[in-house]
Structures are given as structure tokens and as C-alpha cells.
């Protein structure tokens, strides 16, 4: 992805966040919490294309998604995790970059989602 495409992708994600009244999150600048990965199976992240960001004080889990209009997916994720979800918007490229690391760590079966993938 060249610089123009990346800037366009960021702009579209920011517009979506504004339209759906969600927070925009740049995953390149975000320090992911490894504790949250213990609560979210890698296959769930890969199936629904999201990145768990943090567990909030009230027990909700914030996740990064590319499309905040996918309300049924959020309901399914919430049901499967047994937690309420707060959606934040990131670019699909950033989410895919992270999920590729999670998928590689799962395939290696080295230390699961708490290993190298958590060090994004």
C-alpha cells in the first residue's frame, strides 16, 4: 500500500467513525493490552475481523473494527465473549496487519494469542 492509499484509507476510516459516532483509533500508535488477549480467542478475532483493544472498568471490551455498521457481528461477538462490546474504528489494513500476526502465532502454536502477536 502506497502513502496515498494509506492516507485515503485513514480518511475513510475517520469518516466512518464520525458518521457512526465511534472513536477512531490508529493501531500504529496504540499500545495493545496483552491481558485482553487471554479473554479473546484468536479464531474469534480472525472470524469477525476485529482487534481487542482493552477491557474497560465496567467490564466491556473495546474492539477495533473497520466497519462500525456491522451491528449483528457485534451482537454475536458480545454473546460469544459474554461481555458487552464498544466498537472503535481502525483501518482494515491495520486490522489485517495485526490479525496476520495473530494467525501466524496461532499457526506456530508457540504461545497462542498471548505470545509475539500481542507485541504489536
Global pTM value: 0.83
As averages over each run of 10 residues, the pLDDT of the chain (120 residues) reads: 79 95 91 84 95 95 96 96 96 94 73 44
pLDDT at site 11: 93
What pLDDT does 34 receive?
84
What is the count of structural domains for the chain?
1
Q: Rounded distance, CA 64 to CA 86, Å? A: 9
Specify the pLDDT at position 116.
41
Query: pLDDT value at position 35?
Result: 87
Expressed as residue numbers, the domain containing 19 is 3-118
| Burial of 97: CB neighbours in 10 Å, binned 0-12, 13-18, 19+ | middle
CATH number of the structural domain spanning residue 21: 3.30.300.160
Angstrom distance (rounded) from CA 37 to CA 39: 5
pLDDT at residue 117, as a whole number: 41
What is the structure's pLDDT at 113?
46
Amino acid at each position: 500500500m502506497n502513502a496515498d492509499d494509506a492516507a485515503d484509507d485513514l480518511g475513510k476510516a475517520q469518516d466512518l467513525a464520525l458518521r457512526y459516532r465511534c472513536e477512531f483509533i490508529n493501531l500504529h500508535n496504540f499500545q495493545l493490552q496483552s491481558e485482553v488477549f487471554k479473554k479473546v480467542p484468536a479464531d474469534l478475532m480472525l472470524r469477525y475481523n476485529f482487534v481487542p483493544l482493552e477491557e474497560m472498568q465496567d467490564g466491556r471490551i473495546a474492539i477495533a473494527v473497520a466497519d462500525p455498521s456491522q451491528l449483528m457481528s457485534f451482537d454475536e461477538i458480545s454473546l460469544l465473549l459474554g461481555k458487552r462490546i464498544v466498537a472503535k474504528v481502525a483501518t482494515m489494513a491495520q486490522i489485517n496487519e495485526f490479525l496476520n500476526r495473530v494467525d501466524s502465532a496461532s499457526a506456530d502454536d508457540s504461545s497462542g494469542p498471548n505470545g509475539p502477536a500481542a507485541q504489536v
